[in-house]
Amino acid sequence: MLFLNINNKIYIVNVTYVNMEYKIDNTDRKILYELDINARIPTTQLAKKLRLSRETVNYRINNLVRKGIIRKFVTMINPAKLGYSIYKMFFKFQNLSKEKEKEMISYLVKNNFIYWIASAQGRWDMNMTVFAKDINHFDEILSDFISKYGRYILEQEFNTTLKVGILSKNWVFEKNTGERKIVIFGERVENIPIGKEDVEILRILANNARMNSTEIASKIKSTERKVIYRIKNLEKLGIILGYTTSLNLELLNMQFFKATVNLNLLTNEEKNKLVDYCKNNPHIGFFVFCVGSWPFEIEAIVKDNKQFYSILDDLRQKFPEIKGFETIIFPIEYKFDWMPLCYKAENSS
């Protein structure tokens, strides 16, 4: 079941895959890796890099999209540069019927400040990420949700995200190969003013990063030159962090796990060691430093829970300061939008 937000209307779509695993060859894997590093890379440049014809690369990309392997091409937008802090919420529910759950998810998907929502298995039933101006604004968002669905909440937890590391999808290769790219978002909150055209460009690129500047200019009734200038400026300001892909893990026979990590001590030296560890493990896709009941999280893309627990065992061996883990698996993702509707133009230019 997917919840699609189209022109601010929510559509509930039941999706069934006949073959839940799609076999891809090494050429597909190389294309997926390069598109993860830079989803806006021109087809001619990608073809040259892989020593393939432009037609072959174009066909394979379209085939990966058609098969559902590539869900969308996304632009990574840093909320901290636009004045927003990042908060995560975890919920355990009780007495929640399927009908009420569907209603609740629809309500959350429509919320302009929610960036990501997924069902969970483990201690929690749901995890979501919220962008808010400050802790009081976050409390308003949380209180509104609790006023509507509090009777179904058995347990809840939240934390403030300090920094998120997004690591390139080297796990697409069967062997550990390729350069490991890392993108950091979050950190110090600023409030960089952006114009109406900037917002329009970001809204388009957020979920369609491969759209060319000519098409974008046509959609926002501007010129290609202005669009190219504004994109470059958004990159320079650190608002746009890069361009990547959102993949259907189920079709690739992969699973998405999270571990919340408790440590006795977390110095800057230990933080740097943790970052290096994550960079060197191709299956760790994200790491998070946060303030709350735990100070650190890792998120991994793996074949099964055995592979995930082997990562945790290795992590514990290398970091004796770790007191313990709690693990979560995310079977369904309901919303993932780098450009939620909370972002507004600060000026008309």
Q: What is the reported pLDDT for 176?
A: 66
Q: Each residue of 60-90: b (16+ CB within 10 Å) or e?
A: bbeebeeeebbbbbbbbbbbbbbbbbbbbbb
Q: What does each of the 349 residues of the chain score in pLDDT, given as a tens digit?
A: 444 444 444 444 444 444 455 789 999 999 999 999 999 999 999 999 999 999 999 999 999 999 999 999 999 999 999 999 999 999 999 999 999 999 999 999 999 999 999 999 989 999 999 999 999 999 999 999 999 999 999 999 999 999 999 999 999 997 766 678 999 998 889 989 999 999 999 999 999 999 999 999 999 999 999 999 999 999 999 999 999 999 999 999 999 999 999 998 899 999 999 999 999 999 999 999 999 999 999 999 999 999 999 999 999 999 999 999 999 999 899 998 887 666 665 655 5
Q: Is 345 exposed, middle or buried (0-12, 13-18, 19+ CB in 10 A)?
A: middle
Write out the DSSP string of 93-128: ESS--HHHHHHHHHHHHH-TTEEEEEE-EES-SEEE
64, 32 in Cβ contact below 8 A?
yes
Q: What is the reported pLDDT for 21?
A: 58
Strand partners, 165: 184, 287
Strands 9-13 and 2-6: antiparallel
227, 216 in Cβ contact below 8 A?
yes
**Domain boundaries along the sequence of the chain:** 17-71, 72-349
Q: What is the reported pLDDT for 348?
A: 54
Q: What is the reported pLDDT for 18?
A: 41
DSSP 82: B
Amino acid making up residue 270: E
231, 205 in Cβ contact below 8 A?
yes
Nearest CA to 30 out of 54, 4, 51 is that of 51
Q: Does domain 17-71 correspond to CATH entry 3.40.50.150? A: no
Q: What is the reported pLDDT for 129?
A: 94
Q: What is the reported pLDDT for 175?
A: 73
Q: What is the reported pLDDT for 180?
A: 86
Q: Is 276 exposed, middle or buried (0-12, 13-18, 19+ CB in 10 A)?
A: exposed
Tokens, residue 311: 């990562």
78, 186 in Cβ contact below 8 A?
yes
